[in-house]
Chain A
Amino acid sequence: MIELRNVTKYFKTDESKKYLLKDVSLTLPDINIGLIGRNGTGKSTLMRMLGKIEFPNEGTIYSNNSFSWPMGLAGGVVPTMSGKANVKFVCNLYNKDPQETEEIIEYVRDFAELGEYFDLPVSTYSSGMRGRLGFGMSLPFDFDYLIIDETLATGDPVFQQKASDALKEKIGRCHIILVSHNPKTLLSMCDAGMVLNNGELNYYENIEDGIKYYREINEKEGKK
C-alpha cells in the first residue's frame, strides 16, 4: 500500500511555480499500476519521489514496502564504470555475499547479451545497450515494487519480447509501477491506472478507463 498525503510538488521558474502535483491525497492498493500522462507532466518526478530520491515540497508519501530504484532510459547505471562494476556496486549496496554476487553477475551477463562490452565502461554503450543493462540489473533483486520508466521500449524486438517475458515472471513475486505511452504494454502488464495531468493525479481501478481518459486529454489538447 502506498499512501500519498496532501502531496504538493512544484518547480520554481523565474516568475511562477509550475505545479506537478497539487495537494494530492491518494491511497494505492498493492496491485500493478500503470502511470500515464503527457510529456512534462511530472511522471518521472513522481517515480523519483516514490523511489525516495526526490522529495515533495509539502505532504508525505508513506509506504511500508520496498521500492526499486527508478529504472529509466538513463538512470541506474554509472557511465564511468564498466557494466560488471555497476552490477557489483549494486550487489554491495544490497549486502550480497560473494557467491550471490557471482551468480547475479552471470545472470545479468546472460540476460543483457552485451558480450565483451560487459567489461567496458558504460559510456561506450549505445542507448539500447544501456537500457538492456539497466533492466537486467534490476531483475535479480527482490523488491515489493519495481519502478519502471519506459525501459521496456528499449532494444530490438527480440529483446523486448525477452524483457516483457522476464517482467511477467517477476510480477508473480512483486508489483510494478510502470510509465508507458504504449496502451498494449499497459494493458498486458497493469491492472490499475493513474493519469497525471495539470497537477491532478486520478486513479482508475481499471487501466482501460485510464487509457480512455488519457485519450480524451490528448484529443482536447490536439484540438487547441
Chain B
Amino acid sequence: MTLRKPFQIFLAVEKALFLREINKSISVGKAGLFWTFFQPFMQVALFVILRGFILGGGSENYDVATFMASGFIAFNMFRDTLSGSTNAFIANKQLFIYKQVKPIDTILARLLKTMFITSIIVLMFLFIGFFFQYGNIAPQNILMVFLGYLWLIVFSISVSLVAAIGSAFYISIGRVIGIMSFALLLGSAVFFPIISVPAEYQEYFLYNPLVHFMEMIHAAYIPELDDRFVDYQFMMYWTVVPMFIGAWLYQKLEKRIISL
C-alpha cells in the first residue's frame, strides 16, 4: 500500500464529505432542491413587501430589493454555517470510524456546501437582475463586496468551530444557538440599515459583530449607503479571537470528540 501525504488524505476526505453533503441535499427530493434556491427569493420578496407596508415605501433613497438580497444571502450563509456546524460532530459520528475523517473535516465540508449553494444563489440573482436590465443589481464596489463575503466566511467558521465544540459536550449550547439565530435575524441590520435606527439605539446594535459585516457589505454594494458605522478593528477581533479559541479547544479535545 502506498503511503499518502496528510494533505492528500485531507483532500480526499473533503471531497468524499462534500459529495456526501451535496448528495444528501439533493436526495431530499425535488421539493427540497427547489426550496434551497427559491427560499432567498421569497425572503427578499416578502421583506420588500413588508417594509413597503410598515414604512410606507419610497421614503428611502436606496434600492430596497438589492439591499435585501445582498443582506439576506450573506446572513443565510452565516446562519447555515453556524446551524450546520453545531450538530456536525454528533450527526457525523458514524463517519469517525474511518480514521482519516477528523471532526473538523465535517465542519469544513458543510461550510464548502454552504459556500457552493450560496454562490449558485448569488449567480441566480445576478442573472435574473441583468436579464431584466435591473441596473441597481450591479455592485458599486465589487472587490469590497467580495472581501465582505470572504471575511464573513472566515468569521462564520471561527464562531462555528467554537459553537460546534461546545455543543458536542453541552447540548444546551446547540439549543441556545437555535433560538438565537432568529434574534440575530432581527438584530443584525439585515433588512434595515443602522442609519435608519434612532440615534440613541444605534450603539446597542453596534455591539453585534454581524451588524458590522452587514453594514460593510451593504455599503460596498449600494452607492447611497456608506460604512460610517463599520468598525473594522472590532470585526477583526471577533474573527481572530474565536478562531484561536476554537483551534486551541479543538486540538485539546479532538480525540475526545472522535470517540464521543
B12 touches A95 (CB 8 A): yes
Q: By the criterion of a CB under 8 Å from any partner CB, how many residues of chain A are at the interface?
A: 28
Secondary structure of the A side of the interface?
A: loop
Smallest distance from the beta carbon of B15 to chain A beta carbons, Å?
Answer: 6
Residues of B within 8 A of A (CB): 1, 4, 8, 12-13, 15-16, 19-20, 23-24, 94-101, 255, 258-259
B258 touches A66 (CB 8 A): no
Smallest distance from the beta carbon of B130 to chain A beta carbons, Å?
Answer: 36
Smallest distance from the beta carbon of A177 to chain B beta carbons, Å?
Answer: 15
- On whether A53 and B16 interact (CB within 8 A), knowing A48-B259, A142-B1, the answer reads no
Chain A positions within 8 Å of B20 at CB level: 81, 85, 89
B259 touches A55 (CB 8 A): yes
Report the Cα distance A81→B19, complex, angstroms.
12
A70 touches B97 (CB 8 A): yes
Kindly identify, within residues 20 to 54 of chain A, every residue whose CB is under 8 Å from any CB belonging to chain B.
48, 51-54
In the complex, whether A76 has a CB less than 8 A from a CB of chain B is: yes
In the complex, whether A140 has a CB less than 8 A from a CB of chain B is: no
A66 touches B1 (CB 8 A): yes
Question: Which of A55, A80, A93 contacts B101, CB < 8 Å?
Answer: A93
Chain B positions within 8 Å of A90 at CB level: 16, 98
Smallest distance from the beta carbon of A66 to chain B beta carbons, Å?
Answer: 5
A53 touches B95 (CB 8 A): no
Kindly identify, within residues 78 to 116 of chain A, every residue whose CB is under 8 Å from any CB belonging to chain B.
78-81, 85, 88-90, 92-95
- A-B CB contact pairs (8 Å), 26 listed: A48-B259, A51-B99, A52-B99, A53-B99, A54-B258, A54-B259, A55-B255, A55-B259, A69-B97, A70-B97, A76-B97, A79-B94, A81-B20, A81-B24, A85-B20, A89-B16, A89-B19, A92-B12, A92-B19, A93-B12, A93-B13, A93-B16, A93-B100, A95-B4, A142-B1, A143-B1
